[in-house]
Amino acid sequence: MQYEVRKRRKKDHQKRRTSQILWKIEAIYKSLDQLYGTQGLILRASKLDAIDLMSSQDVRDRILALKRVLWENPTLTELDPGEDLEKTLNEIEDLIAEKFARKAVEEDLQQRIQDKMNEKYNEYLRDLQVQVLKEQSSSRENAQTLKKYGQLEKMEQISLNRSALEILRPSSLEEIVGQEKAIRSLVSKLNTPYPQHILLYGPPGVGKTTCARLALEIIRGRQQNPFGPNAPFVEVDGTTLRWDPRESTNPLLGSVHDPIYQGARRELAEDGIPEPKLGLVSEAHGGILFIDEIGEMDQVLQNKLLKVMEDKRVYFESSYYDPHDERIPRYIKKIFEEGVPADFVLIGATTRSPEEISPAFRSRCMEIFFEPLTPAHIQQIVEMSARRLQIHIEPGVAEAIGNYTAEGRGANKLLVDAYALALNEDNRDPDHLVVTCAHVYQAIQNSRLTPPVYARAGHEPEVGCIFGVGVYGYQGSLIELEAIAFPAQTPGQGTIRFNDTAGSMTRDSVFNAAAVLRQTTGKNIKDYDLHINVVGGGKIDGPSAGVAIYLAILSAIEQKPVYQDVAVTGELSIRGRVKAVGGLSEKLQGARQAGVHKILIPADNLSDVPLQMDGLEVIPVKHVQETFEHVFAG
């Protein structure tokens, strides 16, 4: 009887336990339905091959289906025979609870994200609405602004003809007159695998800027140089370059616009990001940076430019730059951390002498010298310009212009001025316009021009008068020296009168000449009242007139006539030796332009004589006595 009771109780317990397991399974399936949704649960079970197991009457099959769905493992085939089903169900419940918690967190996060997106979207819509309202209802245009806009449009419809000087500017290197050697040197220095920085020296109006422009056009894209077909030519005037030492502005090298004080772009300024502004050196990358009048640049700016030329890069700094700020655009980060390429060839042009240019620049640059233009060159330019303007000029016009200017630009200005005078004459022939010498001289008078060459060689020998040669800028010219000597009223107490404006070094040359005179002739200069004059009263820079002063004094004392088509240059030592001088090329050109046929130069300067000196005989001398046979007429 007791055995039956225990057996019935055990059976009831197993039944209750099975019922509890079934209730748990049903509850779990309901939870899965909430977690994945009905369709989601069916798709998930189908993918994991658990549909049949879920509808099975066997508890173990239904639990196996749950494990496949939750563990996402379709390879589970059956439960272990000794597996505790209640423990397995508890694990399944814990896993479902974790998934519910994760889902709740994700839904909360997604809701927050959606709220933020809605907020930003609403702000964006409001901004668009405000912008549209502004465009529709608050236009900045009014009657006054529209009137000014109309004036600008009207101005665009009016244009004058091109400037005559623009038309007459050379368009090829062949049209540049008198600079064949300089052009050949410039092209050869650029058209090489290793182009160098270059300095161009020369007087104004001889073609330095035009040569630089045209040289790049000729060599651009050739295989033997690194310049590409689109290599840039960036031109700037050194006299107009302005920069702030605090680096807030620097058009040459570039600068940084800080977000607070200098106004970077709005999208950068709002985030406090500095904005680099690239300069001309970066614009010239891969090409040529041409700086006209480079000698006029600020010295500190020159030194900064030298640093860029050495590094071939420009580096920027800003206290607002934070390398760890992830909002900074990549290009700005690259600029601040690596710099900006600035690999260019510098061509600097100047009218100054080499001694006035920074030695640091000169040491890094090749140097090319442009020659002053002769009257023959000016005549050639005038004739070429007349053909371009399609005007007729009478014989003598080109020669007249060549006598009053040594610049190609100045010659063209005179020709254009004379053409305008001829065009506005009352009695002119409308079908046949001719520019005459009278028009040229009238233009010369209107412009108050004077000939660049004052002293000219003569034909008759004269006593006490000789020509030295000087240089002003890049233009050589004759220096007319004259001397007159009288026996001193009191022997041994003679006086010397000399131009004070000629300079102290030239005054020293007088005393050097007195020493040489006493040494070579035995005559004491103090036995004479001597007056030495530099005609025109100009200052002579340096001792290069020493030999000429000695010969003028000797001619005045001994009454020896001097040839007037001979010029002399050279420093005189107290031992009578003729020492080397500077600016010889310009002096020779100036002497030839003034009509000199023979010039005596120091023997040490013989290597400085240009190869072509047609019409001028150059005689090298070592001692002053070697000059006598060439200078004195008898």
pLDDT given at position 290: 92
| Inter-residue contact 370 to 207 (CB < 8 Å) | yes
pLDDT given at position 623: 92
Among 39-53, 345-359, 488-502, the least confident range = 39-53
> Which among 282, 318, 544, 555 is annotated as catalytic?
544
Q: Does domain 375-446 have CATH number 3.20.20.70?
A: no
User: pLDDT (tens digit, 9 = 90+) per residue, 98-111?
Assistant: 777 777 777 778 88
Average pLDDT value for residue range 574-597: 84
| Inter-residue contact 413 to 165 (CB < 8 Å) | yes
Among 259-273, 394-408, 515-529, 533-547, the least confident range = 259-273
410 has pLDDT over 60: yes
pLDDT given at position 546: 85
Which class for 418: exposed (0-12), middle (13-18), buried (19 or more C-beta within 10 A)? buried
Q: Where along the chain do its domains lie?
A: 14-136, 179-369, 375-446, 462-631
CA distances from 17 to 21, 23, 30, 259, 626 (A): 6, 10, 20, 75, 142
pLDDT given at position 515: 86
Q: pLDDT-based confidence at 15, cuts 50/70/90?
A: low
How confident is the prediction for the chain on average, in pLDDT? Answer: 80
| Inter-residue contact 375 to 362 (CB < 8 Å) | no
Half-sphere exposure of 383 (CA within 13 A, CB side): 12
Specify the residue for token string 């790049």.
216
Cα 96 from Cα 435, distance rounded (Å) = 108
User: pLDDT (tens digit, 9 = 90+) per residue, 248-301?
Assistant: 678 888 888 776 555 545 556 555 677 788 889 999 998 999 999 888 888 888
Beta bridge partners of 314: 340
Average pLDDT value for residue range 55-80: 72
Percentage of residues in the chain having pLDDT higher than 90? 5
Q: pLDDT-based confidence at 199, cuts 50/70/90?
A: very high
Percentage of residues in the chain having pLDDT higher than 70? 86
Closest among 378, 285, 393, 406 to 339, alpha carbons compared: 285
193 has pLDDT over 70: yes
Which class for 107: exposed (0-12), middle (13-18), buried (19 or more C-beta within 10 A)? exposed
Cα 105 from Cα 407, distance rounded (Å) = 86
Average pLDDT value for residue range 397-408: 85
Which class for 274: exposed (0-12), middle (13-18), buried (19 or more C-beta within 10 A)? buried
pTM: 0.67
Which class for 94: exposed (0-12), middle (13-18), buried (19 or more C-beta within 10 A)? exposed
**What phi and psi, each to the nearest 5 degrees, are found at residue 194?**
-125, 70
pLDDT given at position 265: 55
74 has pLDDT over 80: no
User: What is the DSSP track for 232-251?
Assistant: -EEEEETTT----TTSS--T
Q: Between 3.30.413.10, 2.60.40.10, 3.20.20.70, 3.40.50.300, what CATH number should domain 179-369 receive? A: 3.40.50.300
Structure-block tokens of residue 170? 């050379």
pLDDT given at position 568: 92
Residue 511 sits at the vertex; the CA angle it makes with 496 and 470, to the nearest 5 degrees, is 95
Asked if 526 is an active-site residue, the reply is no
pLDDT given at position 269: 57
> Which among 587, 598, 607, 622 is annotated as catalytic?
587
User: pLDDT (tens digit, 9 = 90+) per residue, 434-448?
Assistant: 888 888 889 888 888
pLDDT given at position 9: 62
Residues for the chain: how many in total? 634
Asked if 560 is an active-site residue, the reply is no
246 has pLDDT over 70: no
Average pLDDT value for residue range 464-486: 83
138 has pLDDT over 70: no
Q: pLDDT-based confidence at 480, cuts 50/70/90?
A: confident
pLDDT given at position 2: 59
140 has pLDDT over 70: no
Number of other CB atoms surrounding residue 492 within 10 Å? 8
133 has pLDDT over 70: no
Which of 323-327, 460-464, 585-589 has the largest mean confidence? 460-464
Cα 25 from Cα 436, distance rounded (Å) = 121
The torsion angle over the Cα atoms of residues 355, 358, 361 and 367, rounded to 10 degrees, is -20
233 has pLDDT over 80: yes
Average pLDDT value for residue range 80-86: 68
User: What is the DSSP track for 304-322?
Assistant: HHHHHHHHSEE----TT--
pLDDT given at position 344: 92
CA distances from 566 to 82, 102, 243, 592 (A): 133, 110, 52, 10
Q: CATH fold of 462-631, please?
A: Ribosomal Protein S5; domain 2 (3.30.230)
Residue 363 sits at the vertex; the CA angle it makes with 583 and 589, to the nearest 5 degrees, is 15
- Residue 196's SS3 state is coil
542 has pLDDT over 70: no
pLDDT given at position 7: 61
User: pLDDT (tens digit, 9 = 90+) per residue, 417-437?
Assistant: 988 888 888 676 666 788 888
Q: Describe the crossing of helices 408-423 and 437-446 by its angle, rounded to 10 degrees.
A: 110
Q: How far is CA 585 from the centre of its chain?
A: 31
| Inter-residue contact 380 to 155 (CB < 8 Å) | no
Higher pLDDT, 377 or 458: 377
Helix residue ranges per DSSP H, 157-250: 164-168, 180-190, 208-219
132 has pLDDT over 80: no
Q: pLDDT-based confidence at 197, cuts 50/70/90?
A: very high
Residue 359 sits at the vertex; the CA angle it makes with 354 and 365, to the nearest 5 degrees, is 75
Same fold, 375-446 and 462-631: no
Half-sphere exposure of 361 (CA within 13 A, CB side): 26
